[in-house]
């Protein structure tokens, strides 16, 4: 049974917020329809509502989203959007429609083979279908010009986040990802204005344990930016993060969409050009090659895999990426994140990894 709708929501101050949960949702389309897309990060809170619908080995990302919805924490949302990724997210689609009917759900199909001969045509058809469904809900058309304006707005945000990543080593990990996370939950108009109106100050909460010039430089690999405990641990260990292969991280902001021509084609081409997540495949644009390229370009001392417990796609992905790193002689560490983070265990493992490299 859901709690009353008067529970304060962390995004209740946004106008027409629309939640999304996966790394392939075309935010620009929803923005052009008058919504403010915000990513629904998983939280350490557990109200117990999702347990009645999901087994205990379900990943924290999906379980937390359903639990927040059933507890009334997402009642301010005008809708929820999910793009086709893993089987667990597909299961959430059915559970959401059945158990959270007052928050409309928009499901968006993504091809599994991004380099397939029909991938672009399929994606264009899905985008057109999504556009029609959003128009049916709002009762208003989404003109091409509005879509182009939203694309231009989001391109500016992506450029600002790329600039942030270009200076990632100047920030403590916790500060870096607080800024990246804000780009997912702050209206883009506000985000662009705040980031463009002042310089990106660096050095906040820098750990004194190691001089900046001696700090080990790491890349992160995983799914989302949900658990701030890991970033606090990395900062405490005196490390710097110089980039990542997170689903909702650097790869998400790496590619702009064309601002002229057919806007649906621009959105489709951008989604197809992104580095694939573990649930997608591209024969030439592989995750292992991209990760090794980042290691070389950023001169990283190692890679830390931050995998959400029970996440099968990232579990299989780790095996392939770790094998590629081993062949290249790149040190790496796997930490498994749970809903209730084990801070002491994380500190011990990260500090031991740092000592091994210094």
Taken in order of first residue, the domains within the chain and their CATH numbers are 1-358 (3.40.50.11900)
Please provide residue 219's backbone torsions phi and psi, each rounded to the nearest 5 degrees: -105, 145
CA distances from 61 to 66, 110, 112, 226, 270 (A): 9, 19, 21, 9, 25
Q: Which of 4-8, 218-222, 314-318 has the lowest mean pLDDT?
A: 4-8
Per-residue model confidence (pLDDT) at position 70: 95
Q: Note the pLDDT tens digit of each residue in 295-343.
A: 999 999 999 999 888 889 999 999 999 999 999 999 999 998 876 667 8
Contact 33, 138 (CB under 8 A): yes
Residue located via tokens 């658990």 = 227
121-175, pLDDT tens digit by residue?
999 999 999 999 999 999 999 999 999 999 999 999 999 999 999 999 999 999 9
Q: List, in sequence order, every residue forming a beta bridge with 105; answer none if it has no partner.
A: 80
**Residue written as tokens 């500016």?**
156
């Amino acid at each position: 049974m859901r709690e009353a709708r008067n529970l304060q929501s962390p995004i209740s101050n946004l106008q027409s917020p629309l939640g999304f949960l996966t790394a392939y949702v075309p935010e620009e389309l929803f923005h052009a329809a008058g919504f403010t897309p915000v990513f629904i990060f998983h939280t350490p809170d557990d109200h117990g509502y999702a347990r009645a619908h999901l087994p205990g080995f379900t990943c924290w990302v999906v379980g937390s989203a359903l639990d927040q919805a059933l507890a009334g924490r997402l009642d301010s949302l005008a809708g929820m959007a999910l793009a086709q990724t893993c089987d667990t997210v597909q299961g959430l689609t059915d559970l959401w429609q059945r158990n959270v009917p007052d928050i409309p759900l928009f499901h968006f199909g993504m091809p599994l083979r991004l380099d397939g001969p029909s991938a672009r045509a399929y994606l264009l058809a899905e985008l057109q279908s999504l556009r029609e469904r959003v128009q049916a809900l709002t009762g208003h058309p989404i003109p091409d010009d509005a879509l182009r304006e939203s694309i231009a707005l989001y391109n500016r945000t992506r450029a600002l986040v790329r600039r942030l990543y270009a200076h990632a080593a100047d920030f403590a990990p916790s500060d870096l990802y607080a800024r990246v996370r804000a780009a997912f939950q702050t209206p883009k108009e506000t985000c662009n204005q705040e980031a463009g109106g002042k310089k990106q100050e660096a050095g906040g909460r820098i750990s004194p344990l190691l001089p900046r010039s001696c700090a080990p430089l790491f890349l992160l690999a995983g799914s989302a930016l949900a658990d701030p405990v890991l970033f606090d641990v990395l900062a405490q260990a005196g490390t710097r993060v110089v980039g990542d292969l997170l689903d909702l991280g650097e790869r998400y902001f790496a590619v702009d969409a064309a601002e002229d021509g057919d806007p649906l084609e621009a959105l489709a081409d951008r989604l197809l050009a992104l580095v694939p997540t573990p649930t997608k495949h591209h024969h030439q644009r592989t995750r292992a090659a991209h990760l090794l390229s980042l290691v070389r370009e950023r001169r990283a001392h190692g890679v830390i895999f931050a995998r959400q417990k029970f996440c099968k796609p990232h579990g299989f992905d780790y095996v392939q990426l770790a094998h590629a790193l081993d062949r290249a002689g790149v040190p790496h560490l796997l930490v498994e994140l749970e809903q209730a983070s084990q801070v002491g265990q994380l500190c011990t493992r990260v500090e031991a990894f740092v000592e091994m490299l210094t």
